[in-house]
Amino acid sequence: MDLYEKVAPIGEGTYGIVMKCRHKESGTIVAIKMFRESEAHEEIRKTALREVRMLKQLKHENIVNLLDVFRRKGKIYLVMEHVDHTILEDLEKSKTGLSDHREHGLARRYVWQLLRAMEYLHKNNVIHRDIKPENILVSTHGIIKLCDFGFARALAGTGAHYTDYVATRWYRSPELLVGDTEYGKPVDVWAIGCIFAEILTAQPLFPAISDIDQLYRIMKCCGNLPNRYLDCFQRNPHHKNNRIPEVGKIVPLESKCPGMSKTAMDWLRLCLIYESEQRATVTQLMEHPYFTEDQWSAQYEVELQKIFENIALPPLRRKPRTDEREKAKPSESDRVKHLDSKSTLAGAAKKWYATNPLLGGKKRSADKEKEKEKLGLPKIMNGHNVLPVQGHYNLNTHAHAGY
């Protein structure tokens, strides 16, 4: 942290605190995630390393950039690009949700970019497992950045089992709630559907206070659970003393999302299908008329690419500009002078070495010896130089003992 100056806290979660910081050398504003416990704590260590591994591998315009990683006193620090705010902050300022206007609304633009990030993850066989408004960042340019990859993981082969204790409760899919450990990409799609409804209404779709309450609210809107989920629930030791709640009369999804267009409602229903195998994929959601009607998605992609081209990630350490580097290069005349001076110096040194008996030079003439006597240089006696100074010396090396 010696390279950074703390500016202000951004937020905190179960595993760490995120601080807004300034890089002292370059002045770049960054976000630094500081994990609460020492990395010796196994769960914290695993989460930190998983996030580092994922962010190093995943590079996309709609995924937050990891700039640096370092350790201090046993703790892991993640340095990431700073992004202005979260979608949650936008929703907290709005009483009715974000506009869905095709030309000027933000809802469609934000969800499209979230889908771009998720399509990239799923094509790389990675699931996020914790999509929620707090983890969706919004830049000053209106660019969405998905963050917090502590629960993300690469999918293994068919039949692989994963922990069911992931995702924030309000955005947790039914298969996770009942304890099914053979899940996959559809858990992210369910969360995207919940967030879509929240973006358009400014209200969470299923705001429960427990897992059982969460199941109740989902069933109240979507109907009874499939038999496979009921079996998972009954086998789950965490639900040993619980039972599936009775829901009574169904409350239509439309009543929870007043004012939503038919096209948007159809899109939402594709995200909230009980059977995960029948739930829409991210690519299918991007190809839905909600986005493709009147070539909206194609036109918006052109707009996005222009924004991406004009945005450059600032470096942590300032590098000289190209013109500065060119000016710093020596000219051809400078190089010639440098070589000439090196040659002159080398010649003088070689001549001096050859005539200096202290450095092994040989006697050339009587005149040379007389010149050395005038200069006070040592004479040659019995093969050794006798130095005209006091002290204890090594005659073979002409060096002061212990020097």
- Residues classed as catalytic: 130
Q: Specify whether the CB–CB gap between 221 and 250 falls below 8 A.
A: yes
The number of angstroms, rounded, from the C-alpha of 381 to the middle of its chain's C-alpha atoms is: 75
C-alpha distance from residue 114 to each of 13, 58, 182 (Å): 22, 15, 25
**Token digits for 303?**
């707009």
Q: Specify whether the CB–CB gap between 282 and 182 falls below 8 A.
A: no
The dihedral through the CA atoms of 165, 166, 170, 171 has a sign that is negative
Residue linked to tokens 């590079």: 59
How many Cα atoms within 13 Å fall on the side-chain side of residue 401? 6
3-state secondary structure 139-163: CCCCCEEECCCCCCEECCCCCCCCC
User: Residue 323: CB partners within 8 Å, gap ≥ 6?
Assistant: none
Residue linked to tokens 């955005």: 171
Q: Specify whether the CB–CB gap between 62 and 113 falls below 8 A.
A: yes
Distance in angstroms (rounded) separating the CA atoms of residues 59 and 25: 25
Q: Specify whether the CB–CB gap between 37 and 44 falls below 8 A.
A: yes
Q: Are strands 126-127 and 29-35 parallel, antiparallel or unpaired?
A: unpaired
β-bridge partners, 383: none
